[in-house]
Amino acid sequence: MIKDLSFIRNRIYTIIEVADGDRASAVYDITMIIVIVASIIPLAFKESNDVFYVIEIIASIVFIVDYILRLFTADLKLKRGVSSFFIYPFTPMAIIDLLCILPSFTAIAGGLRILKVWRLLRAFRVFRAFKAFRYSKSMAIIIGVIREQRAPLLAVCMLSFGYVLISALVIFNVEPNSFSGFFDAVYWATISLTTVGYGDIYPVSNAGRIVAMLSSILGIAVVALPAGIITGGYMSKLREKDKENSKGKDNVNGKDKN
């Protein structure tokens, strides 16, 4: 009985996780992506209808079952014994899963729609897009890269934060009449960092324009850093995958020859 339960749990874990070469896992991943996309589509419409209501009910049931299965196999994923079942609900992806389930209350308890609460729960459906990352091998690689490169990425984030703060302080003191408060200066520095430039707030003096030009040039360099780090890590991961696949093929060919 225990062996049967262990086998079932291991099989469930293999299916719900992204597994190479497992047909059932591939079908599960594709099905989940389809359900996630379908559940997000109603957000593009202001009005609701019976079709959207049915989609939400089906999606809610699927997400709840998925969460239960992942909790059921939490120890296989976290490998921390019994404590895994208590730790798992607080992991980032598990929290996203819960946020994806919350909108189901708007479908199940439609008659209890308090406007503000309902809108908040409806907005949580957006988190279902993040849930789709779990079922993509490419996204799994990128998430792995971000975890491995978290130190340099954190350094870049701190650099960006410092850049925004310093730029805001400089422009706020160089051209105080153009900003009603320091938050406006921070907003201007942020859009300058990303080189978006909406044009709603802008400097009018020569000194302010010089600061804006320098800020935009430096912003391009700062924004490019995370992309370079992630791209480099991604290419490294792909090379590692290719080596692993090559070794696997060599081992299989060697066994066949023997």
Predicted local distance difference test score (pLDDT) of residue 71: 92
Our measurement of the distance from residue 37's CA atom to the centroid of its chain's CA atoms, rounded to an integer in Å, reads 15
Query: Residue 203 in 3-state DSSP?
Result: coil
Residue 216 backbone dihedrals phi, psi, to 5 degrees: -70, -40
Boundary of a domain, candidates 88, 106, 135: 135
Residue 145 lies in a domain: no
Residue 144 lies in a domain: no
Predicted local distance difference test score (pLDDT) of residue 136: 66
Same domain, 28 and 56: yes
Helices 2-16 and 23-40 cross at an angle (nearest 10°) of: 60
Same domain, 75 and 183: no
Residue 140 lies in a domain: no
Residue 34 backbone dihedrals phi, psi, to 5 degrees: -60, -45
Same domain, 68 and 155: no
Residue in the structure block whose two tokens are 């520095």 = 189
For the chain (length 258 residues), average pLDDT per consecutive 10?
A: 79 81 84 86 79 86 90 90 90 82 60 46 62 68 79 85 88 86 88 77 85 82 80 80 67 55
How many structural domains does the chain have?
2
Predicted local distance difference test score (pLDDT) of residue 94: 85
Q: What is the pTM of this model?
A: 0.59
In order, the DSSP letters of 17-64 are: S--TT-HHHHHHHHHHHHHHHHHHGGGG-SS--HHHHHHHHHHHHHHH
Same domain, 26 and 112: yes
Same domain, 8 and 110: yes
Residue 56 lies in a domain: yes
Same domain, 88 and 168: no
Residue 99 lies in a domain: yes
Residue in the structure block whose two tokens are 């189901």 = 104
Per-residue pLDDT tens over the stretch 42-54: 877 777 788 888 8
Same domain, 95 and 212: no
Q: What is the largest CA-CA distance in the chain?
A: 82
Boundary of a domain, candidates 105, 135, 165: 135
CA dist 117 and 75 (Å) reads 35
User: Which range of residues forms the domain containing residue 185?
Assistant: 150-257
Same domain, 156 and 245: yes
CATH number of the domain to which 244 belongs: 1.10.287.70
CATH number of the domain to which 60 belongs: 1.20.120
Same domain, 124 and 56: yes
Predicted local distance difference test score (pLDDT) of residue 87: 93
Same domain, 245 and 212: yes
